[in-house]
């Protein structure tokens, strides 16, 4: 009996010109959305921060919107590309545009960290530079889709516009949730409290989470050690 034919999981399958080093670099850039999803899930699980969960929810909603747009517009990819599915708008461009724009809005408008006894948060100028780096990185990923001939410039530009619009709208929705008290109400639900969800990253840096407690324990341990040695 013949063996059953094997299928290919093409989630990360990228076609590129092996003789072109720039194409090789662009092929790696194609994995940025998958890498960001891993970052989302990791941060959401480790920090239990509501802002990260909300941002990830908006990101996935943006992806669903892209899925619907592609099947509504039904525009094919460039002829020289053998990729499957429709190409308008570019999902990669839309994904990274949402991420970079929402992150920029958060860092510049919502994130207002307060200094503590053990930590001085990054300044507004540093947050601005971080936002610029995110925007430049997103532009690079979007450009790579054109370089690899997966999308036309128009498809990439529309994807960037859709991602930008989704980010601005979702940022407004989450701001309304905060101001109206819906977020506070949701965080008080039994199920949410069971997952130990919190909303501290707006006023604190993630790097400062638990640091004061760690420093206190370290000092106590050092004090006990010095007493035993004496």
Please tell me the predicted confidence (pLDDT) of residue 118.
64
* Contacting residues for 157 by C-beta, under 8 A, at least 6 apart: 93
Please tell me the predicted confidence (pLDDT) of residue 200.
84
Q: Give 82-119 as a DSSP string.
A: ---S--SS-HHHHHHHHHHHHHHHIIIII--PPP-SS-
Short-list 219, 212, 183, 215, CA closest to 199? 183
CA 163 to chain centre: 12
Report the alpha-carbon distance of residue 41 to residue 33 in Å, rounded.
12
The verdict on residue 13 lying in a domain is no
Please tell me the predicted confidence (pLDDT) of residue 225.
67
Structurally, the chain folds into a number of domains equal to 1
Please tell me the predicted confidence (pLDDT) of residue 85.
74
Q: Where are the alpha helices (DSSP H) in 108-206?
A: 124-147, 153-180, 182-187, 190-194
Report the alpha-carbon distance of residue 11 to residue 26 in Å, rounded.
16
The verdict on residue 32 lying in a domain is yes
CA 27 to chain centre: 19
The verdict on residue 108 lying in a domain is yes
* Contacting residues for 208 by C-beta, under 8 A, at least 6 apart: 113, 116, 118, 119, 121
Please tell me the predicted confidence (pLDDT) of residue 11.
67
Please tell me the predicted confidence (pLDDT) of residue 165.
95
Please tell me the predicted confidence (pLDDT) of residue 10.
66
The verdict on residue 188 lying in a domain is yes
The verdict on residue 66 lying in a domain is yes
- In the predicted model, residues of the chain with pLDDT beneath 50 are none
Please tell me the predicted confidence (pLDDT) of residue 163.
95
The verdict on residue 6 lying in a domain is no
The verdict on residue 5 lying in a domain is no
Q: Return the structure tokens found at 149.
A: 């001939």
The verdict on residue 141 lying in a domain is yes
Residue numbers of the domain that contains 111: 21-229
Prediction pTM value = 0.84
């Amino acid at each position: 009996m013949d063996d059953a034919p094997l299928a290919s999981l093409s989630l990360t399958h990228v076609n590129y010109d092996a003789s072109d080093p720039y194409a090789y670099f662009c092929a790696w850039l194609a994995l940025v959305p998958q890498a960001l999803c891993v970052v989302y899930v990791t941060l959401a699980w480790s920090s239990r921060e509501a802002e990260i969960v909300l941002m990830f929810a908006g990101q996935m909603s943006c992806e669903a919107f892209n899925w619907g747009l592609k099947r509504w517009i039904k525009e094919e990819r460039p002829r020289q590309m053998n990729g499957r599915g429709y190409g308008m708008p570019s999902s990669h461009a839309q994904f990274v545009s949402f991420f970079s724009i929402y992150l920029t809005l958060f860092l510049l408008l919502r994130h207002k960290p307060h200094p503590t006894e053990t930590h001085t948060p990054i300044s507004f100028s540093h947050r601005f530079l971080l936002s610029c780096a995110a925007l430049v990185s997103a532009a690079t990923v979007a450009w790579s889709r054109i370089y690899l001939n997966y999308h036309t410039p128009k498809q990439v530009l529309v994807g960037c516009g859709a991602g930008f619009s989704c980010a601005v709208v979702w940022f407004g929705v989450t701001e309304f949730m905060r101001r109206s008290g819906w977020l506070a109400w949701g965080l008080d639900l039994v199920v949410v409290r069971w997952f130990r969800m919190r909303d501290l990253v707006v006023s604190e840096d993630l790097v400062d989470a638990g640091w004061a407690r760690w420093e206190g324990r370290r000092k106590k341990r050092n004090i006990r050690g010095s007493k035993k040695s004496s």
